[in-house]
Amino acid sequence: MPERRRWTVRDLRRDNRSVLLWSLYFDQPCSRQDLSEATGLSSASVSNVIRELIAEGIVIEAGSVDSDGGRPRVLLRINPDFGYVVGIDVGETRVRAELFDLTMNVRANADYPLEPREHGVDVVVDRILACLRDVLAESGVPQESILGVGVGVPGVVEHGPEVVLYGQTYGWDAVPLERLLRDKGPGTDLPLYIENGANTLGQAELWFGAGQGARHGVVALIGSGVGASIIGHGAAERAGTSSGTEWGHTTIMVGGRDCRCGSLGCLEAYVGAEAILDRYAQASHEAQGEAEGQGWQQLLPGQDEETALAALADLAETSPEAAKVLDDTALYLGAGIADLINLFGPDQIILGGWAGLLLGQRLLPAIRSSAREHALSHPYAETTISVGRIGPDAVARGAATLPIQAFLNGTAVPADRRGDVAGHAG
């Protein structure tokens, strides 16, 4: 069985490369000795693989440190210019793109607003392609140097023979997004990685933010809509994995408020930004004794949800209606979090998304207190609830980690580097 043995040796070799790349990526700069200790690979194996990675231009030397009594240790890091990645966030109110080097420094960004109620597939595809063209032009990075483009989208992403989206709240039913991005107008030939936005946010927090070190966490993505990503480290603590849930469409009130999905009483219909603003408008009318009146657009400054929600939070100091709406929001959100705690027993819950960050910063004690009241006491005691650290670009940043993950696993190389890299000739 010579065929089989050759395959196994090559496979092992690729695996050692991957183990070292993952270790170096998250702990750079570090020395060959550090890598050997962190991975358990022999110093000879580390030296061989690192020699290969330096020759290919993936790893570079970055100075040295003194070691006790011995020769100075050479520090290594990933070459940030070996390749570039793009992360795109298809949000509720905008499409945002960022182009990063391989070590996640931002080199260019682009932003196109979306009308909150206009998520026609054609519009979204046009905006994604426009963002991609803009970041390539602004950065001056040629297409051939792009490792891949990650796209974080709302809704359920099905990875079958082709990537298909189901976004019930937008009327997206089996939308073949990847095919549309290839075919529409000039389209794009770049490798595409399409994933649910709560998942890409979860991966960003897991890799670079509040989720570092979490064994089993949940990242809640709250914008106009609501989602959650369940994250856990693999056994070897290298490939962080995450999976999305439709937490926003779990029922928090039987027979409650209308939800955009067509059901009644979903969590999103209470704690999504649009729902919070609508509840405020309703509370204001009721306080005036009116059955119906103006929408939040007439009651709060700013025509976009982000400005209006920030204004509502400021208003809570003087307006009893605004204060009540926010208190109730903390109560509902805490109850929704308690469900996550009882179902999944995470050791960490992170609030993210633009509205999640705003609510978390203003209401965290009240949210924690409601979660404590609604969850079982033991799993509640085992978890922490915190606010995400990455900021509002976390979905785009997380989307950009998808091609990086493929690169670290040895399955993606930029087109202009394929001749230099072992196993990718041609």
State the minimum distance, in angstroms, from the CB of residue 31 to Zn ion: 52
Cβ proximity to Zn ion: between 266 and 358 the closer is 266
Residues 6+ apart with CB under 8 A from 409: 18, 239
Cβ proximity to Zn ion: between 232 and 256 the closer is 256
199: nearest Cα among 161, 231, 225, 165: 231
The answer to whether 20 and 46 have CB atoms below 8 angstroms apart is yes
State the minimum distance, in angstroms, from the CB of residue 261 to Zn ion: 3
Cβ proximity to Zn ion: between 116 and 379 the closer is 116
Backbone conformation region of residue 54, classed left if phi is above 0, alpha if psi is from -120 to 50, else beta: alpha
State the minimum distance, in angstroms, from the CB of residue 245 to Zn ion: 13
State the minimum distance, in angstroms, from the CB of residue 227 to Zn ion: 11
State the minimum distance, in angstroms, from the CB of residue 340 to Zn ion: 16
Cβ proximity to Zn ion: between 249 and 368 the closer is 249
> Exposure string (b/e) for 155-168, b if CB count within 10 Å is 16 or more?
bbbeeeeebbbebb
What type of residue is 414?
A: P
Residues 6+ apart with CB under 8 A from 50: 20, 32, 35, 59, 76
Cβ proximity to Zn ion: between 95 and 267 the closer is 267
Residues 6+ apart with CB under 8 A from 306: 93, 273, 354, 355
State the minimum distance, in angstroms, from the CB of residue 248 to Zn ion: 6
Cβ proximity to Zn ion: between 130 and 264 the closer is 264
Distance CA 321, CA 399 (A): 38
Would you tell me which residues interact with Zn ion (CB under 5 A)?
Answer: 249, 259, 261, 263, 266
State the minimum distance, in angstroms, from the CB of residue 268 to Zn ion: 5
State the minimum distance, in angstroms, from the CB of residue 259 to Zn ion: 3
The answer to whether 189 and 197 have CB atoms below 8 angstroms apart is no
Contacts 24+ apart (CB under 8 A), 97-102: 97/128, 97/131, 97/132, 97/134, 97/135, 97/396, 98/135, 98/393, 98/396, 98/397, 98/400, 99/135, 99/136, 99/138, 99/139, 99/141, 100/397, 100/400, 102/78, 102/147, 102/404, 102/407
Cβ proximity to Zn ion: between 266 and 375 the closer is 266
Cβ proximity to Zn ion: between 33 and 168 the closer is 168
